[in-house]
Amino acid sequence: MESRERTPEWLKKRLVVKSANLSATKKILAEFRINTVCESALCPNLNECYSRNKATFLILGPACTRACCFCSVEKGSPGTIDVKEPERITKAIKSLGTRYAVVTSVTRDDLPDGGAAQYAKVIRAIKALSEDIKVEVLVPDFKARQSSIEKVLDAGADVFSHNIETVGRLYSVVRKGADYTRSLMILKLAKYIVPRQITKSAILVGLGETESEVGQVMTDIKAAGCDILAIGQYMQPSKDNLPVQRFVAPDEFERYRDLGKRLGFKSVMAGPFVRSSYMAEDSYNSMEGKYNDGSEVAAVGGRG
């Protein structure tokens, strides 16, 4: 398929341009030299989320030691760990008024613990700021080191997330250096170590998988004990990344949402613009049953 096929109507993102919050958020992130995955991944939801004072912090970066073909995060040799990073993050959180912080990182295969200690420090620093601030971490696979997963879990994040990203068959193309079974193992281990831990995962569709393969990966993720699932359309960040194989129509996302509910996920977000961190707070709250209308979540993703 042509990678530059005309964008279907449902994949046109409404741009937020007039927002005082948008520029204020950018200013705060710049002031504390915060990297965000929103910017590194060229996320189409950036203006929308920033205008709601929401950003996903990218720690241990900006450079990633892996070179996954779907991702536009800078690849290369990362520098030393910034000991001031937890402090910079908490200052930004304070300025932004964040009540639900989402923290992710580049993959750090160069570090013996994969960066787990830094995650723990960031989580603890946020919780020290206020116990009321919820923290969601989206971690790399840590090469399935149990000690790294334990380190992160010990720090007490409210949601522990690891993205499976795609179906097993496409790992060699999409996530070189990762392993499907190993990634599922991260989710399993988290539940095994802390049975009450809320876990989350996300996949991208449109990378060449079939609908039945998506069903299989959803089943596998559920079997790993996962509570929250997010499914969104893959978009090619640059010409150097994998081309989009297929634009998944809204009705297919609806089928994934239905399947997710039947499988027993506590919360499922599925829609073209859904990403693992997109509306993470709503996703978490809907799981608690405060905001339980799955169709509304899809409408948000579809409308953009």
Partner 1 sequence: MTEVKLPPLAEGVDKASVSYWHHSVGDNVKEGEDLVELVTDKATFNMPSPASGVLKEITVNEGEEAKVGQVLAKIG
* Cβ pair 136, 280 in contact under 8 A: yes
Locus of tokens 């992160």: 152
What is d(CA 74, CA 142) in angstroms, rounded to the nearest whole number? 19
| Interaction of residue 303 with partner 1, rule CB under 8 A | no
State the minimum distance, in angstroms, from the CB of residue 38 to partner 1.
Answer: 8
Contacts of 112 (CB under 8 A, 6+ apart): none
Three-state DSSP at 92 gives: helix
236 scored as a contact of partner 1 (CB under 8 A): yes
Confirm or reject binding of residue 156 to partner 1 (CB under 8 A): no
Min dist. Cβ of residue 133 to partner 1 (A): 25
- Residue 239 contacts partner 1 per CB under 8 A: yes
Q: Least CB distance from residue 22 to partner 1, whole Å?
A: 9
| CA distance linking residue 239 with residue 230, whole number of Å | 25
Q: Are 69 and 176 in contact (CB under 8 A)?
A: yes
Per CB under 8 A, 255 contacts partner 1 = no
CB of 127 to partner 1, least distance (A): 29
Q: How far is the CB of 163 from partner 1 (least distance, A)?
A: 18
Pick from 5, 12, 146, 147: which binds partner 1 (CB under 8 A)?
12
**DSSP character at residue 11:** G
The footprint of partner 1 on this chain (CB under 8 A) covers a number of residues equal to 22
* Position among 28, 44, 58, 206 found at the interface with partner 1 (CB under 8 A): 44
Beta carbons within 8 Å of 203's beta carbon, 6+ residues apart: 163, 164, 165, 166, 167, 214, 217, 218, 221, 229, 230, 231
The helix (run of H) or strand (run of E) holding residue 150 is helix 146-154
Among 77, 80, 212, 238, binds partner 1 (CB under 8 A): 238
Q: In the complex with partner 1, which residue's Cβ is closer, 35 or 148?
A: 35
Instruction: Tell me the HSE value of 211 on the side-chain side, using a 13 A CA sphere.
Output: 11
Nearer to partner 1, 145 or 246 (CB): 246
Q: Residue 229 gets which letter from DSSP?
A: E
User: What secondary structure letter does DSSP report for 304?
Assistant: -
Nearest to 60 by CA among 154, 138, 174: 138
Assess 17 for contact with partner 1 (CB under 8 A).
yes
Any contact of residue 40 with partner 1 (CB under 8 A)? Answer: yes
The reply to whether 20 sits near partner 1 by the rule CB under 8 A is no
Verify binding: residue 13, partner 1, rule CB under 8 A.
Answer: yes
Interacting stretch for partner 1, rule CB under 8 A, among 37-45, 114-122, 163-171, 189-197?
37-45
Q: Where do contacts with partner 1 occur on this chain (CB under 8 A)?
A: 7, 11-15, 17-18, 38-40, 42-44, 46-47, 72, 235-239
